[in-house]
Structures are given as structure tokens and as C-alpha cells.
Amino acid sequence: MRLTDCYNFHDFRRMAKQRLPGPIFDYIDGAADDEVTYRRNTAAFENCDLVPDVLRGVADVDMSVTVMGQKLKMPVYCSPTALQRLFHHQGERAVAAAAGKHGTMFGVSSLGTISLEEARQISDGPQVYQFYFHKDRGLNREMMARAKTAGVQAMMLTVDSITGGNRERDKRTGFAIPFKLNLAGMTQFAIKPSWAIDWLTHERFRLPQLENHVKMDGGALSISRYFTEMLDPSMSWNDVAEMVQAWGGQFCLKGIMSVEDAKRAVEIGCTGIVLSNHGGRQLDGSRSAFDQLAEIVDAVGDRIDVMMDGGVQRGTHVLKALSLGAKAVGLGRYYLFPLAAAGQPGVERALETMRTEIERGMKLMGCTSVSQLTRRNLRFRS
């Protein structure tokens, strides 16, 4: 399968599956428990119909939006995700360059495989730093200080991951960083030698944001252990309020799902929230962000930038979220599969595909700007 054969999310996913060893593909593709929420995230969009207007003069379409003080040329962004150089040797470098080329936002994770500083050098476009709240408060302070020095405009604190989700696909293969695979996992690597050659012929795998605080050479740091042992389950609203004040700029909470929590985010001075269930990777059985979007926008949408992610595979999904009041929509697996399949060209093709779908969809909806997308253009199935 070639990149030119990829026209949608499912094509990119198939190409990534052909290239990646099973344990790595499953790390991207998998979710918690029975993966009910993972499936629900995309299915939620199917219960919503678009009602287009016609004869509106749509020769020119402006799909730009402003989120947390940053102007994006299109209303989607690349959500920060972990371990990207595990999927392809270019990792975050490819995503930063592709996002910069398309004028949209991307982010580096606490578990990112290039440094904040390098990412900032690759693209001076809109960027967030996604971080977790660690038991080591000094590490939390260091992360914020590094982001400030690097010139990152917005902080994004993930609040739905104080402990790791039950990702059973990873357990079956023994997936961990560094690799500590069981026999089934090693067999999967053996039958995908091209990935192994790629891995062995490029620079050493690192976690630059954590390497001064986490020893990677003495035993395996499993992703589950990182969440369970390093993150602080006692994190409270008071802790976050202190961080918001210390940062003194654009500050976003990722993982908000209830109206009450959205209101608290406004009260402590946050400028953005992302409705998210972590791609179904944490609490299985939780609602989809799209299903929660309308009531949260109604409660706080005039006081804080409301974004969402989870299950977004089409430009029409984005149009539906924007019509409900989302300021922008985050992409995760949508760009990770093309990254794994083809590096930077893959991410660029995926973002260009999404841009084309959004533009086409807006024209077919009779809209020339994102502000014209409203709930008047939606109907929900009972």
C-alpha cells in the first residue's frame, strides 16, 4: 500500500498496520477495557445530521479560527500525544513541520520524544505544551519554566489521567518503554523487519522532558507504571489554580467532561478546556466528548474557549462539532496513523485531506466562515 492510495482515516490506519509491529500498532489503536468508549466516540457523530443551506455564494471560504489567543488557518489541530518517535523515526519533528505548513496548532507531550526547544525551532506557529501533574512538584515547576523559556504560548494540563487506564492489548504483548516484550510481542516485531531497521539506524530513543527525572536504563518503564507511580492522584482544583496563576497566560485543561468541572475551570482562570475522554483510553463506558459538547458550551462557552477531541475521522465530524459551539477540534489517531505509515509526508497528506474535506463541507453547507455554522444546521436522531 502506498501513501497515494490513502484517501481517508481508514486507509492511513491500514497502511500503518502493514508497517508497524503488532504491539506498537495496538498501542496507538487500542483503548481501555472493552473499548466501548473508543467506538462510541466516532459513532456519536452518526446520530447527528447536517441540514445544508444552498445558494449562499460560497466561492471563497474562510475556515480560520482563534483559539486561546492563537490564530489557526483551519479549525483542527494536532493534539499532543506521547512516544511519537516510536511510531516513526521523525516523530514530533514531522508533526511540528506539517502543522506549521498548514498553519495550525500542535503540541509536545510530557512523554514527547523531542524537546520543547527543538519543536519550537521547527515551527514558530501555534503550539501548546501538554503536561501531567507529577508527584514531584519540582518537576511540574521545571516543565512550566521550560515551556515559558521555549516560547510556548499555551499550557495544556491533562486532568483525566491521574492513573493509567486498563489497556489490555498492551498487557497481552508486554508493551513497555524500553521494550520488555513477551514471546507473542517479540514474534510480532520479527515479522516487521523494516520497522526494526528504521529503529536501529536512527538516534537513540529519548524522553527529553523527563530524562532528568526518570531512569530509562534500569528496567522497563511501562506506560501504565508511569501513570500509576509518577502522577499524583491527589491533584486538586487548588493545585491547578496555583499552576494557572504561576503560568500567567493561556492555560487549558484537557479531559473536562462535566458542566460542573467546566464552570470550575472558568472560576480558576483557565482560558480553554478540551472535552476529551483520552480517546477511550482511560475510563471505558464514559460519554463521548461530542455528546457532552452542547451542554458545556451552553454553560461556559461565552467565557472560555471550548474545544473537543475523540473519534474525529472526517471533515463533516468537525463541522458538526463547530456547529455545536466548539472553537476547534483536536486530532489524535487521525494524524498518528499517517505518521506511522509515512512520516512527515503522511501527516501532511492527512492534514491536507482534512482541510479539503472541511472546505468542501462548508461550501456544501452554504457557509463561508466558521461563525456561520450553527445548531440551526443540525438535527439529532432519537
Do residues 334 and 8 make contact, with C-beta atoms less than 8 angstroms apart? no
Among the listed residues 302, 338, 323, the one whose alpha carbon sits nearest the alpha carbon of residue 377: 323
Does 202 qualify as catalytic in the annotation?
no
d(CA 59, CA 142): 49
d(CA 125, CA 127): 6
Per DSSP, helices labelled H in the chain are 9-19, 22-29, 36-46, 84-87, 92-102, 116-122, 137-150, 168-173, 183-190, 193-200, 223-225, 237-247, 259-267, 289-300, 315-324, 333-342, 344-365
What's CA 212's distance to the chain center, in Å? 25
CA atoms within 13 A on the CB side of 145: 6
Do residues 37 and 280 make contact, with C-beta atoms less than 8 angstroms apart? yes
Cα 170 to Cα 14, 98, 152, 176: the distances in Å are 19, 29, 32, 8
Choose, from 89, 134, 278, 317, the residue flagged as catalytic. Answer: 278
Q: Which residues are catalytic?
A: 278
